[in-house]
Amino acid sequence: MVQLPLILSSLRSLGHHILRCKTTLLRTPIRRMADAVDVVAVCQMTSTDDKAANMKTVSWLVERAAKLGAKMVFLPEAFDYIAKDKQQGMAMVETRTGPTLSRCAELAKQHGVWLSLGAFHEKDSSNASKMLLTHVVLNTDGDIVASYNKTHLFDVEFGGNESLKESTNLTPGSSITPPVQTPVGKVGLAICYDVRFPELSLCLRQQGAEILTYPSAFMSRTGMAHWEVLLRARAIENQCYVIGAAQTGKHNDKRQSYGRAMIVDPWGSIIASCHEGVDVCIANVDLKYLQKVRQDMPVWNHRRYDLYGDVTKCMTKPTQ
């Protein structure tokens, strides 16, 4: 039997965290949440092969998030573009000094927010035939304070025309980036398919992560079955906030994404979730609540490394 105090505690945590969920793009008035000091915004968009249009959407999302009081804004994987094929994708790839990151740096400075750029397509200097998928964090000065290259590549074929093989054009990352200190807490970087590998999140948690990020472009088939449960599982087992920015809708004739960008608290409750289509929603990150969850259920102290080893002994790299 579920105890009533536990139910009430969960309801109180939801009420404390939720500032704005299920936002409506045009009909909902914008109000700044001045009393919520650690507001984060999670974004949802539909990237195409039109980089200018994608950046226009990014600009709108960042501006709206800033007006809602967000200190840090989280954008999805492939916010820069989703190409129709490998050849087009390789022709559009940029370096970190290219126009995409330069424009994002301007947005960070203009609106006074930190940006989690879920993943942009970066030239691989060691292999001209492939590229990297890179998660970049910018501060309010537009400086890169951390970056991470996607380590787990999505090579899956369900049969028929439903398949995706990232290894044909991506080079996998070779290290884990330590959590980066931000105004809203210590943020651990990952990308999309990484969410299926709990070892990565355990490593980030061991290194002090308070927020785990999974900017994504989940397929509709896998998203409907696994997106929410994976994000909530990573939040519960690591007792961290989890932020999942997402691609949504039809990108081209070959590719469509599930959407439902969301924020999950350390108890596993969904405290913010976007509508269908281009959207942004916000929630408060309460690190005191996070510490209470960890103190009340100290699972980290109960681990039996003598039985199953310590997977948190991981390879890391400098944060930039």
Query: Six-digit token pair at 228?
Result: 């929410």
Question: Nearest-5° angle of CA 152, CA 154, CA 158?
Answer: 150
- Name the one residue in this structure whose structure tokens are 């054009």: 169
How many residues does the structure list for the chain?
A: 320
Does this model's pTM top 0.75? My answer is: yes
Query: Six-digit token pair at 151?
Result: 């380590």
Which amino acid, residue 181? Q
Residue 200 and residue 220: Cα distance in Å, rounded?
Answer: 24
Pick from 121, 99, 119: nearest CA to 52? 99
Q: Buried b / exposed e across 260-287, counting CB within 10 Å, b at 16+?
A: bbbbbbbbbbbbbbbbeebbbbbbbbbe
Query: Six-digit token pair at 61?
Result: 């999302």
Pick from 156, 159, 153, 104: nearest CA to 133? 153
Q: Buried b / exposed e across 116-152, counting CB within 10 Å, b at 16+?
A: bbbbbbbbbeeeeebbbbbbbbbbbebebbbbbbbbb
Annotated catalytic residues are 77, 150, 192
List per-residue pLDDT tens for the chain, 320 residues long: 444 444 444 444 445 454 544 443 332 333 344 444 699 999 999 999 999 999 999 999 999 999 999 999 999 999 999 999 999 999 999 999 999 999 999 999 999 999 999 999 999 999 999 999 999 999 999 999 999 999 999 998 877 666 688 999 999 999 999 999 999 999 999 999 999 999 999 999 999 999 999 999 999 999 999 999 999 999 999 999 999 999 999 999 989 999 999 999 999 999 999 999 999 999 999 999 999 999 999 999 999 999 988 887 766 666 55
CB 215 within 8 A of CB 135: yes
Residue 234 and residue 237: Cα distance in Å, rounded?
Answer: 5
